[in-house]
Structure 1
Amino acid sequence: MRFVIIGAGAVGGTLGARLHQSGHDVVLVARGAHGDALRSEGLTLHTAEGAVTLPVPTVSGPDELALTPDDVLVCAVKSQDTRDVLDTWAHVPVGPSGRPAAATLAFVVAQNGVANEVAALRLFARVYPVCVWLPATYLEPGVVHAEGFPYSGWLTVGRLGGPLDDVSARLVAALGASRFLAVEDAEVMRWKHGKLLSNLGNGLDAVCGRAPGTDELAARLRAEGRAALTAAGIAFSTPQEEAARRGDAVQVRPAPGTDRGGSSTWQSLARGTGSIEVDYLNGEIGLLGRLHGVATPVNDAVRLAAHRLLAEGRAPRSFDVAELTAMVADAEAARA
């Protein structure tokens, strides 16, 4: 099994590094300055145990790689980039048969949000969702900080539209041998919806950080999320279940001399990527709320505020709580 990891940022870079360290065959897919740095200098992984530079093979796309039937495609990009990944990789020929990747290879969804799996299943015959609890940071080309300790992350693997099988078992075995707490679960999407609730705070962190008054807004974000999921009849894991399964296996412990900067949404703004994932986090709750008659003004306001930061080129965490609270009031008034 060769792991072709599409997106070598915080999550993809950590996955690729740890799998490479444990002797698995890995190829990273990365473009731009990050891809150039990975190809020329290798992937530098910072952990609580120190830093190491790994010569993980890296390509910029399928034109530089001959796919084989033993490959597994691992999608680790932000949700707003999933469509491009699917369009780029679904029809790439695999091996001597030339059959398209979508009909031949397993497609692993190692992403936040809950919309990517169905989008992938529209094209790929076999889709394996992964609920990713993996504290990591990617801010500079060629460098990833994996901040989980003693395991780098907790990964729950399942399958969408089919039973657990040999592929999911092999994925769990490989990840479990690579410094991850990895488990199989047929109800993986229940865990992913629970993770969605925790990720609703990513946008708030990017907009306001932990300024006074954000705790109340964070509580309202998650209350809206639970109400929307419940109205839609969607099951989700609870923080108590998550804590019981994860235990102390994944503690946040940054590399010596460093601090964890912020959420993945904060990291996107800090890197100036030009896009953010809030439409598939807070926006997912807004969508469910509109479909099922649940008001979601805080999630709507956080999504809009994050896009305002992006459009205006403002620094992350440059909103004050009063500014965001006024946007919440506007969202409530618009629904009234």
Structure 2
Amino acid sequence: MRIAVVGAGAVGGTMAALLDRAGHDVEVTARGEQLDAVRAGGLVLDGGWGSHTAPVTASPRLTERPDLALVATKAMDAEAAIRENARALDGTTVIVVQNGLRGVDVARAALPAAQTVGMLAMFAASYLSPGHVTVTTPAPSYLGGGTGPVTERVRELGGILREAFPVVELPNFVGAQWTKLLVNHVNAMPAITGLSAQQTIAHPGLRAIVTQSMREAVRVGEARGIRFGSMQGLGDARLRLFARLPRAIGGVLPRLMAARMGATPNPGSTLQSIRRGKPTEIDYLNGAVVSEGELAGVATPVSRELVALVHEVERTGRFLPPDEVVRRVPLG
């Protein structure tokens, strides 16, 4: 099958390499040093799903119409990338692999003739040098669309992709996007401190901040009428309970998430962007909670401050010591 991957970063690059290994004809979009590296030596994958060098076709924009396309850019780049490749993408099946809440809606608006579904990548991968991606925590990706049951088309797509990497089809995809948004709250702290996700969660003060930001996300979701989707042991009832437990007890949840990451240091995608000198997705992660909270009339002071601190690090290039972060983030 001819498969396109728009955005060959940590997630898109991993999927592209695995799809190539499964025997598909893969084209990726890339720019700059990444484009040059992939053209020169292929897309190199190692880590938790084994090693493979994928001789994929790499171009600044798609050169052929694919049978299936995955859009795996950063959330803030998605609309421009989709429109730039609209000639090749419209009329085909497009899977949007994105953090945040708006990716599928953006793709559907830009590609009215495409069949569009969403995917949540729960594995962790690092992309810190051109042409090279490393899977640090293997985990399934979740495929679906809307708030209803799994469709037959989603099941078909899951079967195709499962030949390359673990995929689970799930109902209530919108609710699952909110659950993933909550999981992504481990990203801000590494970006602020320069530490791994495991190190920040091990620090009592930083863990309390992460816990509170996650509790804010649950409360905002509840106010917006969201039924949280089930994935990786998290679901609606458990998350609603988490938001009501004392914060010290609620800190068990980020500890469990850190344990699932394993021993390999996980920098998180936001810190990886900072290390590469690229804009981060923070406005689509903690920032999405702030925006949705404003619509719902729910205060989100911790998420708001975390967004501000990530932007400060982006602007200054200076990571903050944990004690300073604890001092500056209001827990109430």
Asked if 1:74 is matched to 2:70, the reply is yes
Cα separation, 2, equivalents of 1:35 and 1:167: 32
Q: Evaluate the alpha carbon distance shift between residue 120 and residue 163 of structure 1 in structure 2; reply closer, same or farther with a 3 A threshold.
A: farther
Distance, in Å, in 2 between the alignment partners of 1:252 and 1:323 is: 26
Residues 194, 237 of structure 1: 8 Å contact kept:
yes
> Cα distance, 1:32 vs. partner?
0.8
Could you tell me how far apart the structure 1 residues matched to 2:149 and 2:220 are? 28
Q: Residue 241 and residue 2 in structure 1: after superposition, are their counterparts in 2 closer, same or farther (change >3 A)?
A: same
Counterpart of 2:294 (choices 290, 293, 305) is: 290
Q: C-alpha separation between the residues in 1 aligned to 2:136 and 2:129?
A: 16
Q: Does 1:120 align with 2:107?
A: yes
Partner of 1:46: 46
How far apart are residue 181 of structure 1 and its match?
Answer: 2.3
- Give the structure-1-normalised TM-score: 0.82
User: Do the aligned residues in 2 keep the contact of 1:302 with 1:324 (CA within 8 Å)?
Assistant: no
Query: Deviation per CA, 1:98-132, whole angstroms, max 9, x where unpaired?
Result: xxx33x12221111111111111212232211121
- Matched-pair contact (CA < 8 Å) for 2:172–2:229: no
Q: C-alpha offsets along residues 55-83 of structure 1, whole Å, 9 cap, x if unaligned?
A: 12211113xx122xx52221111111112
Asked if the contact 2:28/2:56 (under 8 Å) is kept, the reply is: yes
Deviations 1:252-304 (A, max 9, x none): 568xxxx434101111111112x000000000100111111111111001111
Sequence identity of aligned pairs in percent? 31
Match of 1:265 in 2: 270
Shift of 1:157: 1.0
C-alpha contact 1:136 1:147 (8 A) present in aligned 2: yes
Gaps of 5+ in 1: 95-100, 245-249
Quick check: 1:307 aligned with 2:303? no
Show the 5 A alignment for 1:1-336. Answer: 1-48=1-48, 51-62=51-62, 65-67=63-65, 70-90=66-86, 92=87, 94=88, 101-102=89-90, 104-125=91-112, 126-148=115-137, 152-160=138-146, 165=151, 167-178=153-164, 180-208=165-193, 209=195, 210=200, 211-237=203-229, 241-242=233-234, 252=261, 259-273=264-278, 275-314=279-318, 318-329=319-330
Aligned residue type for 2:187: N
**Structure 1 position 165, deviation (Å):** 4.8
Which secondary structure does the structure 2 equivalent of 1:113 belong to?
coil
Report the 3-state secondary structure (helix = DSSP H, G, I; strand = E; otherwise coil) of the residue aligned with 1:272.
coil
Aligned-residue offset at 1:86: 2.3
Q: Deviations over 1:194-222 (max 9, x none)?
A: 01101012012211331441010011011
SS at match of 2:140: strand
Aligned residues: 301
Contact 2:286 2:306 in 1 (8 A): yes
Distance in 1, matches of 2:283 and 2:28, equals 26
**Distance (whole Å) between structure 2 residues aligned to residue 6 and residue 139 of structure 1:** 18
Q: Which runs of 5+ in 2 are unaligned?
A: 239-258
